[in-house]
């Protein structure tokens, strides 16, 4: 995705399931692969009222 040569994980999440509030600027995803490896990802967000 970003051209760095490493495999990227793309995740689609229904925004209605998120617990973000106005004023937040970052969303963080914590998870685990099927093999048990812990993963973490984050990205900037902009909440539009």
Q: Which pLDDT belongs to residue 49?
A: 77
Is 1 a residue whose pLDDT tops 80?
A: no
Give the integer Cα–Cα distance in Å for 3 and 36: 27
List pLDDT tens digits, range 12-38. 888 788 888 888 899 998 999 899 999
Q: What ranges do the domains of the chain cover?
A: 1-49
- Reported as a pLDDT band with limits 50, 70 and 90, residue 3 is confident
Query: How far is residue 24 from each of residues 1, 3, 4, 20, 40, measured CA to CA in Å?
Result: 25, 28, 28, 7, 18
């Amino acid at each position: 995705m970003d051209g760095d040569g490493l495999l990227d994980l793309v995740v689609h999440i229904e925004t209605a399931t998120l617990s973000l509030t106005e004023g937040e600027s970052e969303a963080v995803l914590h998870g685990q692969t099927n093999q048990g490896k812990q993963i973490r990802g984050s990205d900037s967000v902009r909440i539009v009222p």
